[in-house]
Amino acid sequence: MINNIWVVARRDFRAYFTSPIAYIIIAGFMVIMGWMFFFNLSHFNMQNMQYQQYNMGKGVSITEGIIRPLYGNMNVIFLFLVPFITMRLFAEEKKLHTIELLMTAPLTLTEIILGKFFSAFLLLAVMLGLTVIYPIILFATGNPEIGPIVSNYIGTLLLASCYLSTGVLFSSVTENQIVAGALTFAAGMFFWLVSWATQSAGPVWGDLLNYLSLISHYNNFGMGLVNSSDVFYYLSFIGIGLFLTHRVLDSYRWR
Amino acid sequence: MIQVSHLTKLYGPRPAVNDLNFEVKKGEIVGFLGPNGAGKSTTMKILTGFMPATDGKATIGGFDVFENPLDVKRNVGFLPENPPVYPEMQVFDYLEFAAQLHQVRGDLIKRAVSTALEKTALGDVRNRLIGNLSKGYRQRVGLAQALVHNPQVLILDEPTVGLDPKQIIEIRELIKSLGGDHTVILSSHILPEVTATCQRIIVISRGQIVAQDTLEQLTTRIKKGLIYSLVVKTPSPEGVEALRKIDGVGGVTSAGTKLVVELKPGAKEIRDKIVETAVSRGMGVLEFSAERVSLEEIFLQLTTVEQA
């Protein structure tokens, strides 16, 4: 099983790099993150200098001042970028009719879906891997805490994987990549914005909506806590997305 | 090797395939012949596990297509209507991928791909991007993909579409050479192709099998319904009517001075009677000839006759 998943994942991962898409996404991502990191860092320095000058106290810690905003922003960027990563996964296969190759080969639907998801996950991992430069810079020039950095990476990986699984799902419902991408983005936004509604909702609704919101589960990761209930939430979210994809693809065979 | 019984597929209320029953023995090459929309591709998609049937049963190599799809797929090489090729991949890499998908053992893959490339004469383009190949070459890559894991059964949907005459001959020779070791079902609406490569023909129309036989037997069956054409000097409605009344005549169509007389199947020798009648009614026979029934006509007859 793992072998089959890897065969599919490897092909798709390499396919990302034979078209401009991977390069554009990675480059765009690094440019934006680099910019953010730079402005974040300079603002932080200025702030701390002010604190020192006017003797206002200890100032903001690196964790609160740089790390949390940095990865918080990264999550927002992924909300926008992930649809571009996932939109081609199934939509293109259906358009090119190559889906017939996959569906008539001795693979289970689960293996195909996991393979596709994994190829997108690998691309995501590459992008996150490239951002390790920022903690390295921080360590070289300052004294950040390692804990929050690690937890932020875990949290971002999980959160972005939720977008990935939504992306895989919407890629499977249409032949049109643009539609797939748009739906993925809309779904991501929905689960993001759900948290805004919690402020005006009553006690019961408020808690429910808070549970559904993707970012409210991120808060702990931001602070340096890897909470099992948050991890479970994200894994469930990912699992449901992939399960629904299985249902969708299976249903096509019944038409 | 392949057994299909009561296979039915409905797209909504419309039956694409309706109570199909046929069998293909090991090593046979069988041609699926039918007009567009007859149900050939649908049947093939059901056999390869791409879609399930609404009713009925199909087995390949003893494995039920619905119950044991993985076992079936391992033994089947499928070339769909559109060759399932990725334009951004190189030919060799693509065939390697296909081999891996079909569970070819790692160390045997390179050899399997080389063999497939050789059989389909793709050696020269092994490192070309599939997107840069012409339609004919892409078709060949699709065929190579079906062959690469050396399956027991080959199901080919219109394998020579888009190929030039030379390539068509090569592919036909290839398919013929595959019989015996492999069981082949191919579909086509190109009649000469089916006669050139297949041992048995299944004619399908509107989702149902209208004939299942070897080519010789099909031709003999239909030959009985012979067609004669006359060119007369002065055609007349009474003359045509008289011709229709001759015992054994199925129908007469007239277009100006040319009359076409169709005989009923199993009719006796009545050529002399036809000429006699035409002359005695004053039409004046200028030419009289028997039209050989071609496979095209067999096909048309079988596929356009209203089902009882």
pLDDT of residue A254: 55
Whether the pLDDT of residue A83 is over 80: the answer is yes
Please check whether residues B28 and B163 belong to one and the same domain. yes
Phi (first) and psi of residue A118, to 5 degrees: -65, -35
Domain of residue B246: give its range.
226-292
Count how many domains chain B has.
2
- DSSP code, position A217: G
Please check whether residues B213 and B269 belong to one and the same domain. no
Contacts of B73 in chain A (CB under 8 A): 104-107
Mutate to test the interface with B, among A10, A99, A104 (most CBs of B within 10 A): A104
Please check whether residues B230 and B183 belong to one and the same domain. no
- Distance, CA of A14 to chain centre: 20
Return the HEC string of chain B. Answer: CEEEEEEEEEECCEEEEEEEEEEECCCCEEEEECCCCCCHHHHHHHHCCCCCCCEEEEEECCEECCCCHHHHHHHEEEECCCCCCCCCCEHHHHHHHHHHHCCCCHHHHHHHHHHHHHHCCCHHHCCCEHHHCCHHHHHHHHHHHHHCCCCCEEEEECCCCCCCHHHHHHHHHHHHHHECCEEEEEEECCHHHHHHHCCEEEEEECCEEEEEECHHHHHHHHHCCCEEEEEECCCCHHHHHHHHHCCCEEEEEEECCEEEEEECCCCCCCHHHHHHHHHHCCCCEEEEEEECCCHHHHHHHHHHCCCC
* pLDDT tens-digit series, residues B133-176: 988 889 889 999 999 999 999 999 988 887 888 888 888 888 88
Please check whether residues B167 and B72 belong to one and the same domain. yes
Q: Encoding tokens for residue A241?
A: 């997305």
Q: Which of A128-132, B67-71, B221-225, B299-303 has the lowest mean pLDDT?
A: B221-225
Give the residue from A5, A15, A184 showing the smallest Cα distance to A98: A15
One-letter amino acid of A14: R
Tokens 């390790």, located at residue:
A132
Contact B86 A102 (CB under 8 A): no
Those residues whose C-beta lies under 8 Å from the C-beta of residue B99, and which sit 6 or more positions away, are B109, B112, B113, B148, B149
* pLDDT tens-digit series, residues B53-68: 888 899 998 899 888 8
Q: What is the CATH number of the domain that holds B66?
A: 3.40.50.300
pLDDT of residue B307: 39
Q: Could you tell me the residue ranges of all domains in chain A?
A: 2-252
Within a domain: B306: no
Q: What value does the mean pLDDT take over residues A21-41?
A: 92
Q: What value does the mean pLDDT take over residues B76-99?
A: 94
Q: Encoding tokens for residue A113?
A: 């879906």
CB B249 within 8 A of CB B264: yes
Please check whether residues B155 and B240 belong to one and the same domain. no
Q: What is the mean pLDDT of chain A?
A: 88
CA closest to A250 among chain B residues? B51
Q: What value does the mean pLDDT take over residues B12-27?
A: 86
The distance of A179 to chain B (nearest Cα, Å) reads 21
**Nearest beta carbon to residue A11 from set B81, B87, B97:** B97
Within a domain: B60: yes
Give the residue from B252, B253, B292, B248 showing the smallest Cα distance to B266: B248
Please check whether residues B238 and B164 belong to one and the same domain. no
Within a domain: B301: no
**A–B CB contacts, 8 A cutoff, strictly below:** 68
Give the residue from A91, A103, A54, A48 showing the smallest Cα distance to A181: A91
Share of chain B above pLDDT 70, in %: 90
Within a domain: B303: no
Please check whether residues B244 and B169 belong to one and the same domain. no
Q: What value does the mean pLDDT take over residues A40-53?
A: 84
Neighbour count for residue A121 (Cβ, 10 Å):
21
Please check whether residues B286 and B193 belong to one and the same domain. no
Can you tell me whether residue A128 is helix, strand or coil? helix
The distance of B236 to chain A (nearest Cα, Å) reads 56
- DSSP code, position A58: S
**At which of B184, B201, B220 does a domain end?**
B220
Please check whether residues B279 and B201 belong to one and the same domain. no
Q: What is the CATH number of the domain that holds B252?
A: 3.30.70.100
Whether the pLDDT of residue B306 is over 70: the answer is no
Q: Encoding tokens for residue B55?
A: 């009713």
Q: What value does the mean pLDDT take over residues A94-118?
A: 92
ipTM of model over 0.95: no
**Residue B132 contacts A, CB cutoff 8 Å:** no
**Nearest beta carbon to residue B84 from set A97, A107, A108:** A97
pTM: 0.82
